[in-house]
Chain A
Amino acid sequence: GAVVSQHPSWVICKSGTSVKIECRSLDFQATTMFWYRQFPKQSLMLMATSNEGSKATYEQGVEKDKFLINHASLTLSTLTVTSAHPEDSSFYICSARRTPGQGAEKLFFGSGTQLSVL
Chain B
Amino acid sequence: DAKTTQPTSMDCAEGRAANLPCNHSTISGNEYVYWYRQIHSQGPQYIIHGLKNNETNEMASLIITEDRKSSTLILPHATLRDTAVYYCIVRVNAGGTSYGKLTFGQGTILTVHP
A residues within 8 Å of B by Cβ?
4, 6, 32, 34, 36, 43-46, 49, 51, 57, 91, 93-95, 97, 100, 104-112, 114
Do residues A109 and B43 form an inter-chain contact, with CB atoms below 8 A? yes
Do residues B95 and A104 form an inter-chain contact, with CB atoms below 8 A? yes
* Contact pick for B101, options A34, A100, A108, A109, CB 8 Å: A34
Query: In terms of DSSP, what is the predominant structure of the interface of chain A?
Result: strand
Do residues B93 and A34 form an inter-chain contact, with CB atoms below 8 A? no
At the interface, yes or no: B100 with Cβ under 8 Å from chain A? Answer: yes
Do residues A106 and B42 form an inter-chain contact, with CB atoms below 8 A? no
Query: In terms of DSSP, what is the predominant structure of the interface of chain B?
Result: loop
Do residues A44 and B104 form an inter-chain contact, with CB atoms below 8 A? yes
- Closest CB-CB distance, B71 to chain A, in whole Å? 16
Do residues B95 and A100 form an inter-chain contact, with CB atoms below 8 A? yes
- Tell which of B43, B95, B103 has the most Cβ of chain A within 10 Å: B43
Residue of B nearest to A92 (CB): B43
* Contact pick for B46, options A49, A91, A106, A111, CB 8 Å: A106
Q: Which residues of B contact A114 (CB under 8 A)?
A: 41
- Closest CB-CB distance, B48 to chain A, in whole Å? 9
Also in contact, A6 and B43, with CB within 8 A (given A43-B107, A106-B49): yes
Interface magnitude class on chain B: 20 to 34
B residues within 8 Å of A by Cβ?
34, 38, 41-46, 49, 87, 93, 95, 97-107
Also in contact, A105 and B107, with CB within 8 A (given A34-B101, A46-B102): no
- Closest CB-CB distance, A55 to chain B, in whole Å? 12
A–B pairs, 16, beta carbons within 8 Å: A6-B43, A32-B97, A34-B102, A43-B105, A43-B106, A44-B38, A44-B102, A44-B104, A49-B101, A57-B97, A95-B44, A100-B95, A105-B49, A107-B46, A107-B102, A112-B43
- Closest CB-CB distance, A91 to chain B, in whole Å? 7
Do residues B103 and A111 form an inter-chain contact, with CB atoms below 8 A? no
